[in-house]
Structure 1
Amino acid sequence: MDTEADLLEAARREDRGAFDRLVRPYRSELRAHCYRLLGALHDAEDALQEALLGAWRGLAGFEGRSSVRAWLYRIATNACLRMIKQRPQRLLPRDHHPAAKPGDALAGPVDGEAFVEPYPGDDWDPQRRFELRESVELAFVAALQHLPGTQRAVLILREVLAFSAAEVAEVLDTSVASVNSALQRARKTLDQRTPSRSQQATLRSLGDDAERALVAAFVAAWERADVPALLDLLAEDARFTMPPLPAWFDGRDDVARFLSGSVFATPWRLVPVRASGQLAFACYQRHPDGVFRIGCVNVLTLRDDRIAEITGFLDPAMYAGFALPAELP
């Protein structure tokens, strides 16, 4: 079996197959890293492709003073920082707009606004699965987007990926003192914008049996258009958002009225999935021809044993990343 040193040497001789094998073990974690920085999977894919192209072209300049992994993270991080400067900040609808009322007309997406999207998949290192799932939760990733790019990178590299301050300074071409200062400021902002308890901790506290019961109850209530049953699952201050639409609803009563008046005008079928390490559902809406076609991905945010937020992602371009069928048989 080729060692990493063998693959690196072959890649330097312009062996593209060796290069692909060299970077393959890091692709998944690099993609997740780019997602945390950018808040959307397709942006992360763009940044990762730019980074891998840059790594291929820059092999001659890699002197081996750091590990291949650290070198790739440096290239990927800087690709993301360039993209952050070029693209609109990704937030959530409530960061842009006040809550709507159930009778309000739903406006279409607003030009120039971009929203955080969920992260598919669960191919984490088994030894770090719990903490890595936490690092792609919607609340955490949304909070990251409020940080300047450099603070974002410092916090992820130090707190999520456990790089040393010296390694991060090398990645960002700055000083250790600057890294420590940026980390302190980033932590302060995140403390103000993230819940005290992660979804992973909430799910572990809930337990497997209660989680399965909640999933079954949600699916049954949604498919029956049973608003009272859904109300029983929601926290009093529950929210319902629908990126990329700007409208969102605040409070269980307004959420219930919106569901009754708009969402349940047609039948649905739900398929449980995972998104951003959270409970989620691929939601298929019945069309006039009787076929159920995918209409959204609902991601649940829990507080104890209640649903505190339903985030319904409506952008069809997002579904490909989840490998979801367009129709149900």
Structure 2
Amino acid sequence: MDSVDDSASARAEFDRLVGPLRAELHVHCYRFLGSVHDADDALQEALLRAWRSRENLTDTHKFRPWLYKIATNRCLTMLERRGRRELPMDIAADSPAAERVWLEPYPGVGVGEPGPEARYTARESVELAFVAMVQQLPGVQRGALLLRDVLGFTASETAELLDVTVAAANSALQRARARIEQSVPSQAPDDPRARLLAQRYAAAWEDADVDGIVALLAADARYAMPPLPEWYAGHAAIKDFLVTGPLHWRWRFLPTVANGRLAFGTYWWDAERSLFAAMALDVLTLRDGAITEVVSFLDPTLFPRFALPDTVAD
């Protein structure tokens, strides 16, 4: 009976330590893997391994970096088993269609307080453009960038978490920084100007006002719809696509937040059922008072993670 009680007590203490870290660990796995579903699997496996090896941790003050090391190793292992996740506009021309794996959106704005070494805020580090660029890095470079520039671990801590020397960790970080572009942060979802612009965009869709939609786009705006590989750039191409495609239907938009950006669950009119049915999750990038990018994830199964209903009444 005592052993059962001891096990229950150990589990309760383990869960107490894990609880405050679970959300930030999940975001870390998402940044690493570009997929919410893969992040679920990676975190679950990492916590299971941590529980089984808990006796190896002698100092609970090091619990957080210890967990990050286990989660990072799990992500590195998963990277070896699948292709790089991408967005349609990032696909190489010679990339085989059968090997394409799509980046997934993440609910909310990111969590965690970056350390003093961090270069990115929690919100900036989950933006689609940033996560997409991270996916182009090799595993150790990816780990060095995320651990150092996103989470703010020191050089020595980063080396320890990656099981490499400090020199190797610094070298990987420098190569990662050289390859990744410094993305310009988009307007925050709580910015009143951004919210007004997004509301006007949704209203134009619901009114089937193609000129109103295009007027809100930057001249070099891009529009993509994973898992469809094609994408459109510029006013003329996007307008032609809208007129010949989606604006044949009626639409309703419900607001949400994804990857630190304003987003919408979009619903098309289903005449047979006389209601609006879930179609896509549209993630917007807004800069300088204009919409510079729309990524429309054509996957209604994403909606529950964003607290969006399956249908909307007329």
Report the TM-score, using the length of structure 2 for normalisation.
0.90
Q: Which residue of structure 2 lines up, in the alignment, with residue 91 of structure 1?
A: 86
- 1:12–1:132 distance in 2 versus 1, CA, 3 Å: farther
Q: Which residue of structure 2 lines up, in the alignment, with residue 323 of structure 1?
A: 307
* Structure 2 CA distance for aligned equivalents of residues 308 and 122 of structure 1: 19
Q: Which residue of structure 1 lines up, in the alignment, with residue 194 of structure 2?
A: 211
The equivalent position to 1:299 in structure 2, one of 283, 290, 298, is 283
The equivalent position to 2:294 in structure 1, one of 303, 310, 314, is 310
Q: Which residue of structure 2 lines up, in the alignment, with residue 258 of structure 1?
A: 241
User: Deviation digits for residues 158-214 of structure 1, max 9, x if unmatched?
Assistant: 0111111111111111100001000100001113xx43x211xx449xx83322320
- For 1:178, give the aligned amino acid: A
User: Deviation digits for residues 42-67 of structure 1, max 9, x if unmatched?
Assistant: 11111000101111111122232861
- Shift of residue 69 of structure 1? 0.4
CA contact (8 A) 2:276 2:312 kept: yes
User: Deviation digits for residues 244-264 of structure 1, max 9, x if unmatched?
Assistant: 111111211110111111111
- For 1:86, give the aligned amino acid: R
Identity of aligned residues (%): 47
The equivalent position to 2:28 in structure 1, one of 15, 28, 33, is 33
- For 2:306, give the aligned amino acid: F
- Shift of residue 123 of structure 1? 6.4
CA contact (8 A) 1:11 1:19 kept: no
* Structure 2 CA distance for aligned equivalents of residues 89 and 125 of structure 1: 26
User: Deviation digits for residues 261-314 of structure 1, max 9, x if unmatched?
Assistant: 111111110011110001111111111221111100111112311111110001
User: Deviation digits for residues 11-70 of structure 1, max 9, x if unmatched?
Assistant: 877733332222011000000000100011111111000101111111122232861000
Which deviates further from its counterpart, 55-64 or 149-158?
A: 55-64
Q: Which residue of structure 2 lines up, in the alignment, with residue 105 of structure 1?
A: none
Q: Which residue of structure 2 lines up, in the alignment, with residue 16 of structure 1?
A: 11
Q: Which residue of structure 1 lines up, in the alignment, with residue 216 of structure 2?
A: 233
- 1:53–1:294 distance in 2 versus 1, CA, 3 Å: same
The structure showing larger relative contact order (alpha-carbon pairs under 8 Å, at least 6 residues apart) is 1
- When the two structures are aligned, how many residues end up with a matched partner? 302
* Structure 2 CA distance for aligned equivalents of residues 238 and 174 of structure 1: 42
Report the TM-score, using the length of structure 1 for normalisation.
0.86
Q: Which residue of structure 2 lines up, in the alignment, with residue 153 of structure 1?
A: 143
Does residue 118 in structure 1 map to residue 101 in structure 2? no
RMSD, aligned α-carbons: 2.3
Does residue 269 in structure 1 map to residue 252 in structure 2? yes
Which deviates further from its counterpart, 308-317 or 48-57?
A: 308-317
CA contact (8 A) 1:97 1:246 kept: no
CA contact (8 A) 2:256 2:264 kept: yes
* Structure 2 CA distance for aligned equivalents of residues 132 and 211 of structure 1: 19
Where do 5+ consecutive residues of structure 1 fail to align? 1-9, 99-108
Q: Which residue of structure 2 lines up, in the alignment, with residue 282 of structure 1?
A: 265
Q: Which residue of structure 2 lines up, in the alignment, with residue 80 of structure 1?
A: 75
Partner of 2:40, secondary structure, is helix
* Structure 2 CA distance for aligned equivalents of residues 11 and 255 of structure 1: 63
Partner of 1:15, secondary structure, is helix
Q: Which residue of structure 2 lines up, in the alignment, with residue 55 of structure 1?
A: 50
CA contact (8 A) 2:88 2:231 kept: yes
